[in-house]
Structures are given as C-alpha cells and as structure tokens.
Amino acid sequence: MPPNCASRWSRKCTKGKTGMRQNKKIAITGGIGSGKSTVARLIAERGYDVFSCDLIAHEIYEEPNVVREILREFPDCATNGLPDRKKLSAAVFREKERLRALEKITHPAIMRKLYARMEKALSDPVFAEVPLLFEGGYQKDFDGVIVVLREKNARIGAVAVRDGLSEEEVERRIKNQFDYENKSIFEHTVLYNDGDLAKLREKVGSVLEKFENK
C-alpha cells in the first residue's frame, strides 16, 4: 500500500474544538541503533503516515535562519562558509554544553516542521520517529509513545557497521542520550527489538492493533 493512504483504516479522524480534523499523534523513540527507523518503516508499510525527525534534522540545514544561527554559535565548525557536520559532530558529542547550544537552535526548527506535517497527515494515528523525545520533554505533545529497546551491544555493533563509526564514537552518542536502561519508561508502549526482522514485524503488528483499538 502506498504511504499516505489511510483508506484501509476504519478509524476516522475526530474533530477538535476548532472543528479541525485531529489525528492521534504517536511518537516512536529509543536509543541510537535501537531500531526506530526499522519500526517506522514497518509501520509505513502498513499505510500509515510516518515522519522522521532525523530526516527533518537534515532538511533544516538548508534553512538560511538555522544556518546563520549555527555559524554564529559555531564559527569553528564551518567549511566554505557552511556548517560542517563532521566538525560539528566532533565538537558537540564531546562537550555537553556545546551539544545543548546546537540543540537550542535545531530542536525548535525540527519540531516546528514536524508538527506542521503531522497536522496535515491523512492517517489516524499518524506516527513520528523522535529520537530525542524524552531529552527535549516533547512526550507531552503526543497522544502515545512507542519506546524501542534493544540490547546495548547489538545497538553499538549495528550503528558502527551502518554509519562507519568506531564503537567509541557510538558510545559517546549513547552517553548524550536518555538512559533507557535505567529510567522509568514503562508507562509507555515498550517494544523489545530482541529478535530478527520477522519477529520485529510481528511485534509491530501487535502494537498497531493496540493503537487502532484505543
């Protein structure tokens, strides 16, 4: 089924106070390499609209306002007058304060774009992959949250291979993320990515049933 096709879902969008269509918004989150994008793809395959903050995070580097602010805050991370992702990455993942400064610029721009897209989405529910949901306190803006959990060594190995990073570089990113292993996440829908892709597909099916029947 093509993405954006909501026709097979019997659930109709409800109307809010403004009379505007209101679709239920579900965030997909989890640590680096946990399988968020894979889960997002499996959900999209079933015809739901699914957005990705990772993709939007790349798009905003085309926005003149964002570029200007990043260059002002990180003049040492430019190449040919534009923000250089490699230099930024080397700077921010080593120093929490610099990461917070970058996020202060990027997160509002990312979330603005995401909310605008979700408002226009056709499917109900609509999903969004939001890697830094808890770090940014954005969970309150969603009607539901799916937390994808995967064993740490499997995450590190998969990301190192996928992105050509060293295991130390992956661990550095994990250290800057929400501690899914020690924090209470069990009020949300937890999806354990602890098997092969077929098993994950099955689990995604069960989770979707839960949201369809709510």
Ligand X SMILES: Nc1ncnc2c1ncn2[C@@H]1O[C@H](COP(=O)(O)OP(=O)(O)OP(=O)(O)O)[C@@H](O)[C@H]1O
Ligand Y SMILES: CC(C)(COP(=O)(O)OP(=O)(O)OC[C@H]1O[C@@H](n2cnc3c(N)ncnc32)[C@H](O)[C@@H]1O)[C@@H](O)C(=O)NCCC(=O)NCCS
Query: x/- string (CB under 6 A) for ligand Y, residues 160-179?
Result: -------------x--xx--
What's the distance, Cα to Cα, between the start and end of the chain in Å?
23
How far is it, in rounded angstroms, from Cα 164 to Cα 71? 27
Residue ranges in 124-143 that form contacts with ligand X under rule CB under 6 A: 131
Has 52 been labeled as part of a binding site?
no
3-state secondary structure 66-84: HHHHHHHHCHHHEECCEEC
Helices (H), the chain: 36-45, 53-59, 64-73, 85-92, 96-120, 133-136, 152-163, 167-175, 197-212
- What Å distances lie between residue 71 and 89, 90, 113, CA to CA? 14, 15, 21
Residue ranges in 15-34 that form contacts with ligand X under rule CB under 6 A: 30, 32-34
Please say which residue, 54 or 212, places its beta carbon nearer to ligand X: 54
Has 38 been labeled as part of a binding site?
yes
Does 57 engage in binding with ligand Y (CB under 6 A)?
A: yes
- Exposure letters 63-78 (e unless 16+ CB within 10 A, then b): eeebbebbeeebeebe
Smallest gap from Cβ 74 to ligand X, in A, equals 22
Q: Which of 12, 162, 210, 214 binds ligand X (CB under 6 A)?
A: 162
Smallest gap from Cβ 62 to ligand Y, in A, equals 12
Has 36 been labeled as part of a binding site?
yes
Does 85 engage in binding with ligand Y (CB under 6 A)?
A: yes
**Number of other residues whose CB lies within 10 A of the CB of residue 27:** 24
Smallest gap from Cβ 98 to ligand Y, in A, equals 10
List of residues contacting ligand X (CB under 6 A) = 30, 32-38, 54, 131, 158-159, 162, 193, 196-197, 200
List of residues contacting ligand Y (CB under 6 A) = 32, 53-54, 57, 85, 88-89, 92, 99, 102-103, 106-107, 110, 131-132, 173, 176-177
Annotated binding site for ATP: 33-38
